[in-house]
Amino acid sequence: MGVSVLKSFAFIIGVFFSVVNLLACGWSDDWNYDKDESYDFFDPSIIGIEKNSPLLYLSTDFLHPTSYNGRIYYYDETKKQLNIKEWERYFHNKATAKEIETMLYDDYDSLSPIDYYKTHLNTRIANPQFEAYLLYLTKQIPYVTRDTYARGIIDPNGYKQIMAEGESLFQNTKEPVLKLRYLYLLMRFYHYNQDYSNVIKLYRANLYWTDKQISIVNEWNKALYAGALAHTGEEIEANRLFASCIDHKTNAYLALYDFSIKNDEQWNKLLSSAGSNDEKAEYYFLRAFQGHNSLLHEHRQIRSFAPESIWFERLGYVILQDLQADYYREKSGETQSKSYVEKKRFFLQTLKGLKKPAFFDRYAEQYLNVIENKPIDLNVIRMLDAQANPEQRKFVALLKYLNHVNTLKVAELEKLYQELFSLKSKFTVSMQDSLVKYTALRVAEFYPKKSIGFELLKTYTITYDSYSAEGLQTFWFGPKRSMLEQNILDQNNKIELNQKYQIIATRYIRERKYDKAIEYLRKIPKDQQIVSDYNPFNASLSGNNRSGTSTAMTQLRYAEIMKELYDKVNKNPQSVQEHLLIANGLYNQSMFGNFPSSSYVYYLTWNRSEFQKDLEIIKKEYLLTASLTTDQELKAKIAYELLKVSSMLLKLQAENEDVSHSETMAKMYKQYKSEFQHTRIGLQNIKGCATFQLFL
């Protein structure tokens, strides 16, 4: 055997042991299930905001990218859809929404907007003014992007040209739809090129007629104007305008992100400019989202002068989400800070100071009780029932349901499932998932630990290799499951019938119940059988017993041969050849061998103690075989397999300690040498196996 082969062998062994160590680290018999308690029980319809609006949605915190991206995506999409609708109206429905979308938004379409128009729409629409608009829009793009690399180097003369052309098109266009859009293009052009005074001038000069247009373009123009004011030191007016953006359909998020106060003077001036307490409350509301400002303090401020305003309620809604995120973060140990209790106390004190608590104020307190597994106050629930508007009633039902889950008794399980399935349909998909999860985690506690039902309900998945074949068989084909289990299975654990057979058979092979395995494997079509590329009855020098020559043996054929071999040794217990083949088969169906997929569903879910058990069984079989023969060559062959198995057992037993170079290991290899170096096979192994070179 050449040096390179030795190196390869050492490498394979090395990699294998690294993998073993790596996998062993990730598993212990006392592995605890992670209790992922991130629930979404928030639906803005409780405070009168559109059901799917992400404006006040918090994913852990307001500044979290998920919250931010969710908002931007939602408004970008709304903007696109409303824009397409406006163009549809403009074209008097001569272009479909799909065509408009492809023309203006499809980056993957090989045609530019103008080329698409000429190719697909011109004959139907025949609007030279629109064509001119598209042409100008395309020309302007490089001048209105922050992506400096994408736009390339801009010709400074081009700037003047674009500006002049835009001004001319705007002035000469009489048709109001296009005129308004030219105004937007020009304002945007000036804005990107930091010519804010022209943005302001254009907006103010045209307000008299743009105000009369019903178009989403007005929302964009107003935002550009507000931005220009902010850049030119007119912060108060800019903030007033940004605040008003909160009612916009296409860019309401600007109110949250671009409203900006830098000092007390600006703040006081803004408050003085407010025409009502409600307007003032909105400013406090918006200030709460700036940087790391305090939602709780701003909420309390609003209480002092406008407790009945929508802004007090809306801020309370955001605070409740924030508190929930803190509660579960702290509970899971994800954060070292312990701010939940202090924040909650502050929030509840604010609510307690209300003379006339509104529905949401009462709801919030009870909601916190529920997530903390504290009983709800039934008097308050009665008040909530009385106060709730039709949209809010389902939230009272939600509180009652979660409270029921918290205080659940086994006898009430089926009743609870009925409640769950009638309640679910009233909420969004995300809330439905949370309802099922909340229920499942609680119900799991009624199942024996390590049972399939427990695992399924706790983690929504089943680690097949942790369960007996019979357990899985009963689980899939046994008595009817509870509605909840079935629901979770339907949602998360869809599995084909043949796959179930295969999993059960695999577990039977691991349990060495080959006849049962055969029964299930015979139900699976041949082309879906698992196949070994190597002869699983071969035992060779290499660690995994791959001889290098390929063979194809299905899992079924393997099980059949193993069954035949066991039948033979039952009849003739002294048969050396059959015992040797059984030992090799067991070796190869283990994680150590070349056909582990015959007895493990997933390689990654095996664990140290199971692997140890496998190795002990293999060792026993090899020892038995060795005791039946006097042939020294065969003994050398078997002893070498035993050496590999024993080395691995030593490593597994040592857990984190590296025993590769230990004295015990050296002793084992030296002993093999002294016992078998006189044999042909022994000598071949000693020379061919790199590990021997370490010790001898």
Token match 């005791």: residue? Answer: 627
Using CB under 8 A as the binding rule, whether residue 674 contacts another protein is answered as no
Rounded to 10°, the helix 452-459/469-477 angle is 70
Contact 431, 43 (CB under 8 A): yes
CB 336, min distance to another protein, A = 7
Nearer to another protein, 336 or 574 (CB): 336
Among 16, 267, 476, 695, binds another protein (CB under 8 A): 267
Contact 562, 582 (CB under 8 A): yes
Contact 280, 271 (CB under 8 A): yes
Piece of the chain touching another protein by CB under 8 A; list 6-14, 117-125, 256-264, 501-509: 256-264
Nearer to another protein, 292 or 494 (CB): 292
113/42 Cα distance (integer angstroms): 41
- Please, how many CA atoms are within 13 Å of residue 109, restricted to the half-sphere of its CB? 18
Rounded to 10°, the helix 310-331/295-305 angle is 150
Using CB under 8 A as the binding rule, whether residue 658 contacts another protein is answered as no
Nearer to another protein, 145 or 335 (CB): 335
Piece of the chain touching another protein by CB under 8 A; list 124-132, 294-302, 490-498, 601-609: 294-302
Binding mask 416-445 for another protein (x = CB under 8 A): ------------------------------
Q: H helices of 332-428, where?
A: 340-352, 359-371, 378-387, 393-406, 413-424
CB 325, min distance to another protein, A = 13
128/126 Cα distance (integer angstroms): 6
95/6 Cα distance (integer angstroms): 72
578/487 Cα distance (integer angstroms): 48
Nearer to another protein, 298 or 641 (CB): 298
Is 482 strand, coil or helix?
coil
Token match 């003739």: residue? Answer: 572
Which tokens sit at 403?
């409270």
Burial tier of 155 (Cβ tally within 10 Å: 0-12, 13-18, 19+): exposed
Using CB under 8 A as the binding rule, whether residue 292 contacts another protein is answered as yes
Nearer to another protein, 30 or 147 (CB): 147
Piece of the chain touching another protein by CB under 8 A; list 258-266, 434-442, 496-504, 632-640: 258-266
CB 158, min distance to another protein, A = 18
Binding mask 129-168 for another protein (x = CB under 8 A): -------------------xx-------------------
Query: What one-letter code names the amino acid at 308?
Result: E
Contact 501, 518 (CB under 8 A): no
Nearer to another protein, 262 or 526 (CB): 262
CB 303, min distance to another protein, A = 15
Using CB under 8 A as the binding rule, whether residue 231 contacts another protein is answered as no
Piece of the chain touching another protein by CB under 8 A; list 287-295, 424-432, 572-580, 631-639: 287-295
Nearer to another protein, 118 or 343 (CB): 343
Q: How far is CA 239 from CA 84, 183, 206, in A?
A: 30, 22, 21
Nearer to another protein, 73 or 209 (CB): 73
Interface with another protein: number of residues (CB under 8 A): 24
Using CB under 8 A as the binding rule, whether residue 272 contacts another protein is answered as no
Nearer to another protein, 242 or 464 (CB): 242
Nearer to another protein, 32 or 336 (CB): 336
Q: H helices of 245-358, where?
A: 253-258, 264-273, 277-287, 295-305, 310-331, 340-352
Among 8, 59, 122, 293, binds another protein (CB under 8 A): 293
Nearer to another protein, 128 or 291 (CB): 291
Piece of the chain touching another protein by CB under 8 A; list 262-270, 463-471, 563-571, 681-689: 262-270
Using CB under 8 A as the binding rule, whether residue 639 contacts another protein is answered as no
Using CB under 8 A as the binding rule, whether residue 263 contacts another protein is answered as yes
CB 267, min distance to another protein, A = 7
Piece of the chain touching another protein by CB under 8 A; list 78-86, 122-130, 290-298, 407-415: 290-298
Using CB under 8 A as the binding rule, whether residue 193 contacts another protein is answered as no
Nearer to another protein, 146 or 480 (CB): 146
116/124 Cα distance (integer angstroms): 13
Among 4, 32, 34, 65, binds another protein (CB under 8 A): 65
Phi, psi dihedrals of residue 347, rounded to the nearest 5°: -65, -45
CB 453, min distance to another protein, A = 35
Piece of the chain touching another protein by CB under 8 A; list 179-187, 293-301, 371-379, 382-390: 293-301
Using CB under 8 A as the binding rule, whether residue 297 contacts another protein is answered as yes
Nearer to another protein, 304 or 491 (CB): 304
Which tokens sit at 369?
């009780």
H or E element, residue 554: strand 553-554
Q: How far is CA 139 from CA 59, 76, 168, 637, in A?
A: 39, 23, 15, 80
| Opening angle at CA 617, ends 672 and 25, nearest 5 | 90
Among 291, 333, 390, 448, binds another protein (CB under 8 A): 291
Nearer to another protein, 29 or 147 (CB): 147
Nearer to another protein, 188 or 344 (CB): 344
Contact 475, 504 (CB under 8 A): no
118/126 Cα distance (integer angstroms): 9
Binding mask 308-347 for another protein (x = CB under 8 A): ---------------------------xxxxx--xx--x-
Token match 């990218």: residue? Answer: 65
368/374 Cα distance (integer angstroms): 8
CB 150, min distance to another protein, A = 12
Using CB under 8 A as the binding rule, whether residue 233 contacts another protein is answered as no
CB 262, min distance to another protein, A = 5
CB 65, min distance to another protein, A = 7
Spatial CA neighbour of 650 closest among 95, 190, 20: 20
Nearer to another protein, 344 or 516 (CB): 344
CB 294, min distance to another protein, A = 5
Token match 């209480």: residue? Answer: 303
Residue 670 CB neighbours (<10 A): 14
Spatial CA neighbour of 673 closest among 681, 664, 682: 682
Spatial CA neighbour of 555 closest among 605, 602, 508: 508
H or E element, residue 531: strand 531-532
Using CB under 8 A as the binding rule, whether residue 21 contacts another protein is answered as no
Beta bridge partners of 59: 61
Nearer to another protein, 2 or 65 (CB): 65
Q: Would you tell me which residues interact with another protein (CB under 8 A)?
A: 65, 148-149, 261-264, 267, 287, 290-294, 296-297, 335-339, 342-343, 346
